Homo-oligomer: A and B are copies of this chain.
């Protein structure tokens, strides 16, 4: 996958509110499973999605390089990687509209 597409994936990944909520949860605690993240979305964010929907979101986050997943036995643990986000801040240097 070309770099350009990978970068585009980061922005698309952040475009969805549910995925941003997932990143919020993963920043609070690493190594969470799909079921853990499902229940946390429901409890703390009032997002009642099916397990598959959350799984698809995690796939997108993983493709964008924002989440790493590791399977251990029956469980799959998800961890956030915030490094790709630095590119966003650096792309458009600070420039204020007025003054």
A-to-B contact residues, CB < 8 Å: 8, 11-12, 14-15, 17, 20, 23-24, 27, 30, 68, 79-83, 85-86, 88-89, 91-98
C-alpha gap A93/B24 in the complex (Å): 10
Point out which of A11, A20, A30, A93 has the most chain B C-beta atoms below 10 A from its C-beta.
A11
If A68-B97, A79-B97, A97-B68 touch, does A92 touch B27 (CB 8 Å cutoff)? yes
> What are 18 sample pairs from A and B whose C-beta atoms fall under 8 A apart?
A11-B14, A11-B15, A11-B20, A14-B15, A14-B88, A15-B15, A23-B92, A24-B91, A68-B97, A80-B92, A80-B95, A81-B97, A82-B92, A82-B93, A83-B96, A85-B92, A86-B89, A88-B88
